[in-house]
Amino acid sequence: MSHSERMNSHSILAEGLRKRYGDTYALDGFDLAVREGTVCGLLGPNGAGKTTAVRILTTLLRADGGRASVAGFDVAARPAEVRYRIGLTGQAPAVDEILTGRENLEMWGRLYHLGRRTARARAGELLDRFGLGEAADKRIKHYSGGMRRRLDLAASFILAPRVLFLDEPTTGLDPRNRDEVWQAVRTLVAAGSTVLLTTQYLDEADRLAHQIAVLDRGRIIADDSPDALKSMIGGDQIDLVLREERDLPAAAETLAAVTGAAPTVDATARRVTAPVSDRIGALTEAMHRLREAAVEVEDVALRRPTLDEVFLSITGKGAAA
Amino acid sequence: MSALISPVVPRTAARRLGWVLSDAWVIARSNLIHLTRNPAGMASMLLFPIVMVVMFGYVFGSAMTVAGGGDYRAFLMPGMFAQTMAVGVTTTLVVVSTQATYGVTDRFRSMPVSQSGVVLGRALADMAGSALELAVLIGCGLVVGWGWHNGPLPALAAVGLLLLLRFSLIWVGIFVGLKLKPESAGASWMLMLPLTMIANTFASPAQMPGWLGALAEWNPLSATVAACRELFGNPGWSGGSWAAQHALALAIGWPLLITAVFLPLAARTYRRLDRV
């Protein structure tokens, strides 16, 4: 299919994007296609090019090569049309500290040329929806980190954007605030918007995204559904948590013998992990042998691999690298 | 939730201009709200020039003689006016640099806001702030015995020259502010102070060592100060050099030149934010 044909079914379409800083490519042939009404998690370590990709797709940055369209318009040729159809929440909340929540939203609404009355009505509506109704007339400097982030999100929702870009929206938030942001994103997607979410947190992408694209050194190295990506590294994982740290080597040896794979050992969590194919067989055999070796097991679990493990196996290094 | 409006990008020049003006007003208004919500900041902004008047007018002033004769405080006030206009550039610098660093500029740029509107709004807010400072300082001058002696029209022309200087520095502030981090932008204040003192602000260049005097004579600030002294009818405006003789022309010429250089630079840097 040609670029223009694919534009009809995909809200975000990037083909061969390149961006160079000096001698290094921040993006080096970046391809991505996100279907309308879905959430795509863009995952990668610091410096992989996530923010550069978002900046190009939101018309903030000009690519050196390749092409991209968002909401049906070319980002380089028709930036004004794109800007009317997107929302962007960057890494630092872009809110005005001195103004109240309501004043912030009214200001942004008027900058979208909504007109005074519509901007005011819209601000009230969004404040309620994002749980900021009570704090609406307080200045932002009295807001918590989570409240600022929600206000920032609310600002990106003013026009109910067709495509929403969230660049690490929950970095630095506590779990409760993170849940609130996730809930807001789910609501928007339920209403038909498309979301591109960059994150370093694998569980975040796992919870929200229909599609996960893994970015490493400026290129997409994996792009699939979360389940398909997890299947890439094989079946289930077995986790053993021991009572005593000194038993770790013995447990690792036992697990290696039972599963035929090399286990990973997390000393601080007193945990040994290995992939298994015969779930129940491996579980009972391992428990039997460990009891014979007098190794006390505090907890045992069979589970699907995490995206962290997926990432490790694709890139050969951890996501936090 | 449904989309509220169907996006329309304006096609006619008149509608585009309407956007520019409306965007400029929204942005200027939010900046003016900042002023009213920060009483401590506003107080220090307005008190600083008054403290300077007291310090220079009375502490040092008692030991100063005006070249050519006249009251030192009457000599000092036009210098204080122009210095306040010049130091005002640090406000532009700090706001521009802070907004660029903390994502506010990015939000503007990812929205269908007219870029001229953003800049015009910034300019309106800065000019309003500086006009307020100037008004307070003029009141302060009247209290310490300064006044205008050539009638109201030349006095208004002098005020116009002062605001023209401030206007030209907005573009310097935007250009430099887009290139600096907020911490260094804040420190620019330290640099502005001496720059405004190597001029005819507090003493006549004729009383300085030769090289420094020449530098002071050609400082754009000196042109505005000398022209204001002339228009207000305050002592100390005459001087022997070409620059001093043509103070009025230079007080118009320098700001126009600064604008001609820095307005395109500021616009270019803003436009080119998409390349860095």
Burial of A64 (0-12, 13-18, 19+ CB in 10 A): middle
Closest in B19, B110, B275 to A83, CB measured: B110
Residue B251: predicted pLDDT: 95
In a domain, B131, yes or no: yes
- Tell me the per-residue pLDDT of A167-190, one tens digit each, with 9 for 90 and over: 888 887 788 878 878 888 888 888
Asked whether residue B258 carries a pLDDT value surpassing 90, the answer given is yes
Residue B261, domain member (yes or no): yes
Question: Which one is predicted more confidently, A4 or B127?
Answer: B127
* Residues of A contacting chain B (CB within 8 angstroms): 58-62, 80-81, 83-86, 88, 90-94, 96, 98-99, 103, 107-108, 110-114, 118, 122, 129, 139, 155, 157, 159-160, 191
The pLDDT of residue A311 is above 70: yes
The C-alpha angle A134, A139, A143, rounded to 5 degrees, equals 70
Q: Average pLDDT, stretch B124-152? A: 93
Q: Alpha helices of A88-201 — where are they, by DSSP H?
A: 101-111, 116-129, 145-156, 175-190
Whether A84 sits inside 8 A of B23 (CB atoms) is no
According to the model, what pLDDT value does residue A1 have? 65
B11: in domain: no
Q: Which domains does chain A have, with CATH numbers?
A: 3-230 (3.40.50.300), 236-303 (3.30.70.100)
Question: Closest approach of chain B CAs to the CA of A300, in angstroms?
Answer: 45
Q: What are the chain A neighbours of B110 within 8 Å (beta carbons)?
A: 58-60, 83, 86, 88
- Residues of B with Cβ-Cβ distance to A88 under 8 angstroms: 106-107, 110
Parallel, antiparallel or unpaired: strands A211-216 and A39-43 = parallel
* pLDDT surpasses 50 at A319: no
Q: Is there a domain that residue B6 lies in?
A: no
Selected residue with higher pLDDT from B65 and A30? A30
How many CB atoms neighbour CB B19 within 10 A? Answer: 18
CA distance A291 to A271: 17
pLDDT(A254) > 50:
yes
Residue B2 has pLDDT above 50, yes or no: no
Which of residues A66 and A309 earns the better pLDDT score?
A66
Q: What total number of domains does chain B contain? A: 1
**Pairwise CB contact (< 8 Å): A111 & B7:** no
A262/chain B closest Cα distance in angstroms: 45
Could you tell me if residue B2 is inside a domain?
no
**Residue B270, CA distances (Å) to B101, B177, B178, B265 in order:** 13, 10, 7, 9
Q: Domain containing B45: what range?
A: 16-275
Q: Which range among A229-243, B67-81, B245-259 shows the weakest confidence by mean pLDDT?
A: A229-243
- Closest by CA to B79, choosing from B247, B262, B266, B242, is B247
CB-nearest to A85 from B2, B7, B273 is: B7
Mean pLDDT of the B232-238 span: 82
In this predicted model, which residue has the larger pLDDT, B123 or A314?
Answer: B123
CA distance A91 to A93: 6
| B111 closest CB neighbour out of A98, A112, A139 | A112
Residue from the list A81, A83, A94 with its beta carbon closest to the beta carbon of B102: A94
**Residues A203-218 pLDDT 10s:** 888 889 999 999 988 9
* Higher local confidence (pLDDT), B63 or B163: B163
* A297 sits in which H/E element: strand A297-303
Q: Is it the case that residue A321 has pLDDT exceeding 80? A: no
Chain B hits for A93, CB-CB cut-off 8 Å, are: 103
DSSP conformation letters of A228-289: HHHHHT-SEEEEEEES-GGGHHHHHHHHHHHHSSPPEEETTTTEEEEEESSHHHHHHHHHHH
Q: Is residue B85 part of a domain?
A: yes
B116–chain A nearest CA distance, Å: 13
- Does residue B184 sit within a domain? yes
> What is the 8-class DSSP label of residue A304?
P
- pLDDT tens per residue, range A266-278: 988 899 998 887 8
Rounded distance between C-alpha atoms, residue B90 and residue A98, angstroms = 19
Nearest to A110 among B5, B26, B273 (CB): B26
Phi, psi of A27 (to 5 degrees): -125, 135
Residue B8 maps to a domain: no
Average pLDDT in the B234-256 region? 85
Chain-chain contact of A99 with B30 (C-beta, under 8 angstroms): yes
List CB contacts (< 8 A) between B1 and chain A: 129, 157, 160, 191
Identify the closest residue of chain A to B15 by CA–CA distance.
Answer: A113
How many contacts, defined by CB atoms under 8 Å, are there between A and B? 87
Please tell me whether the interface predicted TM-score (ipTM) of this complex is above 0.85: no
Average of per-residue pLDDT across B232-250: 83
